[in-house]
Structure 1
Amino acid sequence: MLSSRALRQIVFAIVTLFGVAAVSFVLLRVVPGDPIAMMIAPGASTEDIARLRAAYGLDKGLFAQFVIWLGHALTGDFGTSISMRQDVVHLIAGRLPATIELTLTALVIGLVLGIGAAVASTLGTRRLVGSTVDNANGILLAVPDFVWALAFVLLFGVAWPILPISGRVDPRLPIDFATSFLLIEGLLRLRLDIAGDVLAHMIMPAMALALPLAAVILRVLKGALESEALQDYALLARIRGASRLRVTLRETLRNAMIPTLALTGVQFTFLFGGTVIVERIFAYPGIGNLAIDAVINRDLPLVQGLILTFGLIFILINLAVEASFALLNPRLRHG
């Protein structure tokens, strides 16, 4: 049976999604501009315009539109894209795997860089090591992800062209995968040519997203490690002869990761928001790039579907973070 805590989380997730759906639905329809005007051909008759508005349900009142849309959405039907004339769910499902692989790669890079730098800075015996790490971290915190993206394009795409600067995979490669998770399926099938090419296209946008994340992880984890090193259990382990490396890796790192995990979960949601600009810069075919096209074309069904997709992703990430808390801190497993 579900615990009361799990039940509360599920109810909160449902209420949050409904709130996101209602607010975004209203806001998208009170913004000036007529999406139908972007679809009609020059010289279209009044009857043609009315027929098109009726086809997309825009001829009814706002409340009636929302009720109709919500009824279809509960069955998995988010309508048809106005600009692309394709099913919204199909469009999002085709682009979402690319963004998931990009953000997961960025998360792994950010965790490796942030945790590694924090541990190295904590164990450094010279003040120069700590000051160098702090100065470098300050730069990483000050530079946003899209600036790193532009810098990588200029450096590794123009000045020293060693990496592809657009797309997700070389279109000349024969790909007959069952899913759109090209990197994951390529590794599982040992199609290293495809996995390597996907990774080559992904590394620059992933690094652009990962560097600010690594900086935040470094700052929080370093402070937590320094605080945990002063606790009685860590001092007792040192008195018993354990090395600083052993105490850090086997004693203090686990406890220091608890606040770091909370922050990483929040920052991971920001990664999905960051993909909107970064994917555009690299012409990466994910939902971030799709969102910009949808907004430019005022494609209401597609924008609405993307907003709910982002909202669902944020909720799932938060639930995963809370579950990880319960694993790291047994006191949170009940309630």
Structure 2
Amino acid sequence: MITVFAGRLMEAIPTLGLVLLMVFGLTRLIPGDPAVMLLGPDATNAQIVALHHELHLDAPSYVQFGTYLSHLFRGDLGVSLRTGRPVREALELYLPATIELAIVALCFALSVGVPLGLLAARKPNGMADFIVQLYALCGVCIPTFLLAFGFQMMLGAKLHWLPVAGRGSAFVFNEPPTGFAFFHAIFTGHLHEAVDLGTHIFLPAIVLGTFLTATLARFLRNTMIEALSADYIMTAKAKGLRPTQILLFHAFPNAIGPAIMVLGVQFGDMLGGAILTETVFSWPGIGRYMFEAIQTRDYVAIQSTTLVFAIIFMSVSLCADFLNSLIDPRLRIRRSS
């Protein structure tokens, strides 16, 4: 098992290299000049040339890429062209907020998607199945930004139930040393602060987790229907087991494995949606930081944040693969052979 996991880990290294190469090339194709964006439209040609030389943008592309890789191997993610500060400091500041938002969105997807998938599989083609499939279709098709604006207008602007922007109220929110404000408030027992932070994270977490919830419910419904038609389910029915026992203790363990793999793959799509979600809700995370970097043609920040997103996505995929192998012994035998 350890050998298989190590092999998958080694396969991720060239993938990361390919991601870096593609992002480096694509950022150079973005229209606009970073020097002009930084200096403004009134900058003279001499000022632009001088800034190009200062930021090493006048060097050939392969030299820039080689310099970036050499710094990366030393743990240096470079200096932001926009702020002039190390990108590593920005990631340490913004990454905890994104991870916290992603974890809450993942918990929402599991707590809603799994019961909906089980409910739909219990009576296929019934009313509950139709409602779940309709929800799954809407959750997959509705764009993230449209869903975010809809929640802001309905629950925030009209009903005034929830805040529509920010991570917390100014008179309540205190940045903890770890950066995980919501979890820190819960674990330390600061109830008033936890409630305030929870109301701020609720809407962006739902928006971010809706696509994952819909995908999980739809896929689990299909795998559960397939599992319920297996021979061992007929044997369980012949023994007189109750339908709930058959559903939860016999069919579900065999259907959840493929759903975990889909969950790991779709987690990457959720991270991509974090860019729009954090921007719409003014969430101070790495997604919003990346959006601002794209706006200002901050090549270094774009490359570093994309690398972090790729590492997170591959780590989650490896964890999903590992959990799936623990659940299904046949996968361990197949991959070790």
User: Structure 1 stretch 164-173 or stretch 126-135: which is displaced more?
Assistant: 126-135
Q: Which position in structure 1 is the counterpart of 2:91? A: 92
Q: 2:146 matched to 1:137?
A: no
Q: Which position in structure 2 is the counterpart of 1:245? A: 244
* 2:28 partner SS: helix
Structure 2 CA distance, aligned partners of 1:152 and 1:110?
17
Cα 1:169–1:16 change in 2 (3 A) is same
Q: Which position in structure 2 is the counterpart of 1:214? A: 213
Q: Which amino acid aligns with 1:292?
A: F
Does the 8 A contact of 2:108 with 2:206 survive in 1? yes
Q: Which amino acid aligns with 2:186?
A: L
Structure 1 length as normaliser, TM-score? 0.93
Structure 1 CA distance, aligned partners of 2:138 and 2:306?
32
Q: Which position in structure 1 is the counterpart of 2:302? A: 303
Does the 8 A contact of 2:101 with 2:205 survive in 1? yes
Q: Which position in structure 1 is the counterpart of 2:159? A: 160
Cα 1:326–1:202 change in 2 (3 A) is same
Q: Which position in structure 2 is the counterpart of 1:53? A: 52
Q: Which position in structure 1 is the counterpart of 2:116? A: 117
Q: Which position in structure 2 is the counterpart of 1:63? A: 62
Q: Which position in structure 1 is the counterpart of 2:331? A: 332
Cα 1:121–1:45 change in 2 (3 A) is closer
Does the 8 A contact of 1:81 with 1:88 survive in 2? yes
Q: CA deviation at 1:267?
A: 1.2
Q: Which position in structure 1 is the counterpart of 2:318? A: 319
Q: Which position in structure 2 is the counterpart of 1:200? A: 199
User: Structure 1 stretch 221-230 or stretch 172-181: which is displaced more?
Assistant: 172-181
Unaligned 5+ residue runs, structure 2? none
Q: CA deviation at 1:102?
A: 1.0
Q: Which amino acid aligns with 1:311?
A: A
Structure 1 CA distance, aligned partners of 2:36 and 2:127?
62
Q: CA deviation at 1:332?
A: 2.6
Q: Which amino acid aligns with 2:309?
A: F
Does the 8 A contact of 1:123 with 1:245 survive in 2? no
Q: CA deviation at 1:127?
A: 3.0
Structure 2 length as normaliser, TM-score? 0.92
Q: Which amino acid aligns with 1:262?
A: M
Structure 1 CA distance, aligned partners of 2:172 and 2:135?
39
Q: CA deviation at 1:98?
A: 0.9
Q: Which position in structure 2 is the counterpart of 1:80? A: 79
Q: Which position in structure 2 is the counterpart of 1:28? A: 27
Q: Which amino acid aligns with 1:232?
A: D
User: Structure 1 stretch 118-127 or stretch 57-66: which is displaced more?
Assistant: 118-127
Q: Deviations over 1:131-167 (max 9, x none)?
A: 3333333333332332221111011111101111000
* 2:160 partner SS: coil
Unaligned 5+ residue runs, structure 1? none
* 2:39 partner SS: coil
Q: Which amino acid aligns with 1:39?
A: L
Q: Which position in structure 1 is the counterpart of 2:176? A: 177
Does the 8 A contact of 2:30 with 2:297 survive in 1? no
Q: Number of residues paired by the alignment?
A: 333
Q: Deviations over 1:158-185 (max 9, x none)?
A: 1101111000111212626221111122
Does the 8 A contact of 2:38 with 2:296 survive in 1? no
Q: Which position in structure 2 is the counterpart of 1:225? A: 224
Cα 1:250–1:86 change in 2 (3 A) is same
* 2:77 partner SS: coil
Q: Which position in structure 1 is the counterpart of 2:288? A: 289
Does the 8 A contact of 2:121 with 2:222 survive in 1? no
Question: Percent identity of the aligned residues?
Answer: 29
Structure 2 CA distance, aligned partners of 1:90 and 1:164?
28
Q: Which amino acid aligns with 2:131?
A: T
Q: CA deviation at 1:9?
A: 1.6
Q: Which position in structure 2 is the counterpart of 1:264? A: 263
Q: CA deviation at 1:126?
A: 9.4
Structure 1 CA distance, aligned partners of 2:153 and 2:39?
40
Cα 1:52–1:176 change in 2 (3 A) is same
Q: Which amino acid aligns with 1:119?
A: L
Structure 1 CA distance, aligned partners of 2:293 and 2:181?
24
Q: CA deviation at 1:221?
A: 0.9
Q: Deviations over 1:232-251 (max 9, x none)?
A: 11111111111010011111
Structure 2 CA distance, aligned partners of 1:145 and 1:45?
41
Q: Which amino acid aligns with 1:20?
A: V
Does the 8 A contact of 2:172 with 2:193 survive in 1? yes
